[in-house]
């Protein structure tokens, strides 16, 4: 996070104060949103996409059409008020669905996002003897830079070591680093954590490494409560679904000590799109999250439809006043298995709910009439109960999703593509395989 002027410093202080105020405020502050939205409108009017957005103001917000993610991805440069080459940082989305979206960020973009997230995580990362190991990629995508910024801002000692950085990091290097640095907090994608855990279990090192670890912050991919509970037991640590957002929007929600995601309402104006229209965010409401980021500088966005179905929650025992949110994913998420719509979260709830599984691969035939579930064994676990665990997975799949597998089989090793876990990987690409040979007709 760059701060090399008095005005950058004042800006950082203002964002910090806004986040702290929002954390404890019970009433929605209309004056605050009116002034922030006014500034959003002025920045947006400088982009080709919002050139004709009209006069600023909270009342006009409700007359402004939503921006779809498809429109943004189709013409990403139209939404920029800063040329691609003029941002302080240049990022791209990983682009699982097509062409990467160019994402320049200014110093103010970086300051605002970093400080907003840091304030949300402050109770988790300060007030003790914390050291963070960041097992996330640094190249092209912003996620590792954000975590580094948060650690710097909160004064948490940290180091980055993405295990797939050829020529720099690998498992051996990370084990060596661990012995010296003794991390207490891991920032990691679920797929990488599963892979790492398996390697350490095979080497008999998990007990030693987990000794220093108190908390694990999962980000970059979907993580289900079942997966968090499973890995929490392995590592003897508290495991959190750390944040929600996208490279386009910035961070929208961050976890608290109770593993609930709180909306970052000081940094975003949130609405919910339901059948009846677009409404303010209130506890109990369900629909698609629509967000107007209040601090986006290089790429202002007005009423971005995230496409994700969410449920807004009520009070959280942590004491923060901002609403919690449960993200269910996109309506179009997932795929069809034997004629049944299956979402990642539902399937992973069943797979990881059965405990001690290091990964999975779904094999289907091209006619869609046959499906087999391959589960990667936990190397430290007895194989004697695999048949009964397979039966349990069959029962739960039938109850919750509505079909039965033609086979559930435990294997020693799945292809590494099932877990190399960059950020926002494609489920269909990583965890599905179409096989026709040797499949019963
Ligand atoms: Zn909370």
Interval between CA 124 and ligand 1 midpoint (Å)? 11
Interval between CA 257 and ligand 1 midpoint (Å)? 6
Burial (CB count within 10 angstroms: exposed 0-12, middle 13-18, buried 19+), residue 134: buried
Please report how many Cα atoms fall inside a 13 Å half-sphere around the Cα of residue 356, on the Cβ side: 14
Interval between CA 259 and ligand 1 midpoint (Å)? 7
Interval between CA 27 and ligand 1 midpoint (Å)? 17
Q: Which residues of 99-127 are buried (b: 16+ CB within 10 A; e: fewer)?
A: ebbbbbbbbbbbbbbbbbbbbbbbebbee
Q: How many CB atoms lie within 10 A of CB 274?
A: 12
pTM, two decimal places: 0.93
pLDDT confidence of 96, banded at 50, 70, 90? low
Length of the chain: 441
Q: Per-residue pLDDT for 425 more than 60? A: no
Burial (CB count within 10 angstroms: exposed 0-12, middle 13-18, buried 19+), residue 255: buried
pLDDT confidence of 114, banded at 50, 70, 90? very high
Q: How many CB atoms lie within 10 A of CB 428?
A: 12
Q: In this predicted model, what pLDDT tens digit does every residue of 57-75 receive, in sequence order?
A: 656 788 899 999 999 988 9
Interval between CA 314 and ligand 1 midpoint (Å)? 10
Interval between CA 317 and ligand 1 midpoint (Å)? 6
Instruction: State whether residue 329 is helix, strand or coil.
Output: strand
Interval between CA 135 and ligand 1 midpoint (Å)? 25
Q: How many CB atoms lie within 10 A of CB 2?
A: 13
Distances (CA, A) of 208 to 161, 185, 211, 357: 19, 15, 5, 21
Give every CB contact of residue 246 below 8 A, 6+ residues apart in sequence: 93, 252, 306, 424
Interval between CA 426 and ligand 1 midpoint (Å)? 30
Q: Round to whole Å and give the CA distance between 441 and 436.
A: 9
- 284: phi > 0 → left, psi -120 to 50 → alpha, else beta; which? left
All domains of the chain, ordered by start, with CATH?
6-110+245-330 (3.40.50.12780), 126-241 (3.40.50.980), 335-434 (3.30.300.30)
Interval between CA 134 and ligand 1 midpoint (Å)? 23
Q: In this predicted model, what pLDDT tens digit does every residue of 360-419 receive, in sequence order?
A: 999 999 998 999 999 999 988 888 999 999 999 999 999 999 999 999 999 998 887 776
Q: Are 272 and 279 in contact (CB under 8 A)?
A: yes
Interval between CA 266 and ligand 1 midpoint (Å)? 16
Interval between CA 139 and ligand 1 midpoint (Å)? 32
**Residues measured by CB to lie within 5 Å of ligand 1, the ion:** 256, 258, 260, 316, 318, 320
CA dihedral 231, 232, 238, 244 (to 10 degrees): 30
Interval between CA 372 and ligand 1 midpoint (Å)? 39
Q: Which two tokens stand for residue 341?
A: 């719509």
């Amino acid at each position: 996070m760059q701060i090399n002027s008095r005005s950058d410093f004042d800006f950082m202080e203002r964002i910090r104060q806004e986040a702290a105020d929002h954390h404890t405020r019970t009433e929605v502050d209309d004056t605050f949103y009116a002034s922030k939205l006014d500034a959003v409108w002025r920045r947006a009017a400088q982009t080709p996409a919002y050139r004709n957005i009209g006069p600023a103001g909270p009342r006009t917000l409700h007359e402004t059409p939503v921006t779809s993610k498809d429109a943004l991805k189709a013409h990403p440069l139209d939404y920029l008020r800063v040329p691609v080459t003029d941002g302080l940082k240049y990022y791209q989305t990983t682009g699982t669905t097509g062409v990467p979206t160019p994402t320049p960020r200014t110093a103010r973009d970086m300051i605002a996002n970093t400080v907003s997230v840091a304030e949300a995580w402050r109770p988790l990362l300060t007030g003790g003897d914390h050291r963070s190991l960041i097992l996330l990629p640094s190249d092209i995508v912003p996620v590792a830079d954000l975590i580094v910024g948060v650690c710097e801002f909160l004064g948490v000692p940290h180091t980055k070591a993405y295990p797939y950085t050829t020529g720099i990091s690998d498992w051996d290097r990370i084990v060596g680093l661990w012995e010296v640095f003794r991390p207490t907090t891991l920032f990691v994608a679920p797929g990488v954590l599963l892979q790492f855990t398996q390697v350490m279990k095979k080497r008999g090192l998990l007990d030693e490494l987990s000794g220093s670890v108190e908390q694990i912050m999962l980000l970059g991919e979907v993580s289900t409560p079942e997966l968090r509970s499973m890995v929490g037991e392995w590592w003897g640590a508290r495991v959190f679904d750390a944040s929600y957002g996208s490279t386009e929007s910035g961070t929208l929600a961050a976890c608290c000590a109770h593993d609930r995601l709180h909306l970052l309402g000081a940094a975003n104006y949130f609405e919910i799109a339901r059948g009846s229209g677009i409404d303010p965010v209130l506890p109990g409401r369900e629909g698609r999250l629509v967000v107007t980021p209040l601090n986006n500088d290089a790429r202002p966005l007005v009423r971005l439809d995230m496409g994700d179905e969410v449920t807004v929650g009520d009070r959280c025992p942590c004491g923060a006043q901002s609403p919690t949110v449960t993200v269910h994913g996109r309506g179009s998420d997932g795929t069809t298995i034997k004629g049944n719509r299956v979402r990642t979260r539902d399937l992973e709830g069943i797979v990881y709910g059965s405990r001690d599984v290091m990964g999975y691969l779904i094999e289907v035939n091209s006619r869609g009439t046959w499906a087999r579930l391959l589960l990667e064994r936990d190397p430290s676990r007895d194989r004697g109960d695999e048949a009964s665990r397979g039966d349990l997975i069959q029962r739960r799949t039938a109850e919750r999703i509505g079909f039965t597998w033609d086979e559930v089989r435990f294997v020693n090793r799945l292809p590494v593509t099932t877990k190399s876990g960059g950020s926002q990987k494609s489920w269909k690409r990583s965890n599905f395989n179409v096989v026709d040979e040797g499949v019963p007709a």
